Structure 1
């Protein structure tokens, strides 16, 4: 019995099933679902999402292999993976098949077809381009550049800030490499998901996803949960732009975390009593403008403010939804300090004979349960530190 049949088996806790669609026509793989032994999808807010399908391939009466010779799977074929919760269907992954790996060991009954996939961003990795964007008289925003580069893919660009204005950037890389560089320069996330692309800051104030329930009796959907509280992160990122001439002074500045809090108290406030803040220092790179250095420093210190990290595993059937990277989620049942709103960093979705599991990594810039995302990023302690510089 294949993994899809086992997940559909009513005796298996009425578990969520998985649906695989391929090609422009979104064709269901049909009877080949019986041969699927596992599916794993890795989703991240900072990297491309990837999927691996493992099929236990079998020979038919003509000597062909049912999956490898089916004609369904080919390089650059579109693929969608859905989770079917019986009452509703949610998309887990969308992208392209990028690698096919059939194996034929001595025992023919152990033949397999492994299919590797990457999200929609893979289509932006096919051509190294040398393209100028904007100039002093007609600067282009990073958002406008993004829209131009993804236009051939018919993806929906989710509204976000424009990002820095180009004074004359030259792209000398693939489109996806260049866009990830521009996202980093702005302190933005670049996420391809469900036919959409998001380019902007962390969406901390979005509505939280369905709660992760720990130690909640019959409502429990989380199999395990662990927290790591890091100390060695900078409170301040100091930056410097070299002088244009020998007679000029360098231009300097400092960046402090300015994001809404996912809790009552900023994580950075602990340890502030040492008397001196933790400071990282950066210098301008190449022909970076002051605005670009400031944006990079701000992105660094904002990312560093997420000192709290959590990991765990969901029973996908009990959770009843697809947990998504790059969005908030509330954790309940782990006490007043570690409970509350987190931001989803990564999720690994696994469909196999044991069921549907979602292994997650969460991040947080504060501690303490709250009913909503906080609006003031600085505690009185950090405000006092800032006033000293």
Structure 2
């Protein structure tokens, strides 16, 4: 018999546990995304003898006060008993996982004839990085150098993937016009990177780098897969209108010579066997009469004196265009027994040979109530369909030999 571990959440105010709030918590909701995370805590209110509502004046909920949330499982089941994800339940469980560490950005008082609530709205460090519009020149630096300097100056630990080129100010001068938040996201986008904050200890580490497609997948998600099913719902949408190649051209400053690049293949690790170009090659050629190449995207790139940077920007646009399958679903958390995380891959089974396989999780909305209800809704995407054959599904043989896919 499968025993389900008990669930747990933890609140931290200013880095310290806030156990006194637990009796008043209606729910905790964390919206974790590769684009940034936010979270909401709903508290029950009661009026004192003076008619004032408790918690309304709590200094811990002042805008830009620090607040954090952890959710997880304590391991209330049998040690060594199988879980719905195919692993073994360890004694004591893994405990709560830090999901979001950020700042209060506002509150909402909600009163009705019977109930009184306070919603506390919080956001990860993007909240403070978006508070100042500025104009700053960044001479003689690469995009990764700029990102690291912005983050360390703001007091955040940085995990930055180095990228060329190191620009010379007499050729190309990078100028920031806007907030640190918008500028960091623009730097990441033109390199095909993500920039996201990951809770670490009582703070955050910012990761500026490519999507985490190469790590160990999270425990499997299964739909209509008998006793190992742990999804309440799952849907996958394939969009065949995505670009199949990216072309960029510009006049190189100084020489006024034309530099042209064209990128046909994505550089990111493929999530399946067949990309969109291979899937539609024959049918699109019959349906369209292109001037040059079917499915081509013309990129307006940032002017640069280095042709390799033009190539880099075109490759980033091609990698983004390659995500042609979008998926969404709801997890049966009692059956899954794990906290699904955004920014990591997961294997899905039971969706047929086309849509089973690896997905990159881009968003998970977690909602937990003190009485034990834990809901997880997720979004994910793929840049290829079908099974590669190297997938290692938990609790079964690897790849195509697993029945019912």
TM-score between the two structures when normalised by the length of structure 2:
0.80
Given the alignment of the two structures, is residue 97 of structure 1 paired with residue 104 of structure 2, yes or no?
yes
Q: Which residue in the other structure is 2:289 paired with?
A: none
Q: Is the 8 A contact 2:42 2:117 kept in 1?
A: yes
Cα distance in 2 for partners of 1:84, 1:266 equals 36
Task: Tell me: CA distance 1:226–1:49, structure 2 relative to 1, closer, same or farther (3 Å).
Answer: same
CA–CA distance in 1 between the matches of 2:306 and 2:178? 21
- The corresponding residue for 1:131 is 136
Deviations 1:268-300, CA, capped at 9 Å, x for gaps:
211101335311112344567533332222111
Q: Distance in 1 between matches of 2:17 and 2:267?
A: 46
CA contact under 8 A between 2:301 and 2:313: conserved in structure 1? no
Matches of 2:189 and 2:305, distance apart in 1: 13
State the alpha-carbon separation in 1 of the partners of residues 165 and 347 from structure 2.
Answer: 32
1:35 to 10, 24, 28: 24
Measure the CA separation in 2 of the matches of 1:354 and 1:347. 18
Counterparts of 1:95 and 1:341 in 2: how far apart (Å)? 30
Contact 2:345–2:360, Cα closer than 8 Å, also in 1 = yes
2:379 pairs with 1:361: yes
Q: Deviations over 1:238-291 (max 9, x none)?
A: 11104659x955322201222221112223211101335311112344567533
1:252 is aligned to: 260
RMSD: 2.5
User: Does 1:346 find its partner at 2:363?
Assistant: yes
Distance in 1 between the 2:374 and 2:27 partners?
Answer: 10
Note closer, same or farther for the CA distance 1:163–1:345 as it changes in structure 2 (3 Å cut): farther
Secondary structure at the counterpart of residue 126 of structure 2 = helix
* Aligned with 2:57 (options 53, 56, 69): 69
- Contact kept in structure 1, 2:40 and 2:121, CA below 8 Å: yes
Matched, 1:171 2:176: yes
Q: Matches of residues 1-389 of structure 1 in structure 2 within 5 Å?
A: 15-24=6-15, 26-30=16-20, 32-45=21-34, 47-86=35-74, 87=93, 88-105=95-112, 107=113, 109-134=114-139, 139-162=140-163, 164-167=165-168, 168-194=173-199, 195-242=204-251, 250-256=258-264, 257-273=266-282, 274-275=284-285, 277-285=294-302, 290-352=307-369, 355-370=373-388, 372=390
Residues 349 and 357, structure 2, Cα contact 8 Å, conserved in 1: yes
* 1:335-368 C-alpha deviation (Å, 9 max, x unpaired): 2221111111211112246811111111111112
* 2-structure distance, mates of 1:166, 1:15: 54
Q: Distance in 2 between matches of 1:320 and 1:163?
A: 42
Assess if the C-alpha contact under 8 Å between 2:72 and 2:338 holds in 1.
no
| Preserved CA contact (<8 Å) 1:15 1:355 | no
Aligned to 2:82: none
Query: What is the SS of the residue equivalent to 2:60?
Result: coil
* Contact preservation (8 Å) 1:37, 1:56: yes
Q: How many residues align?
A: 352
- Separation (CA, whole Å) in 1 of partners of 2:165 and 2:19: 44
Equivalent pair of 1:16/1:316 in contact (CA under 8 Å): no
Match of 1:387 in 2: none
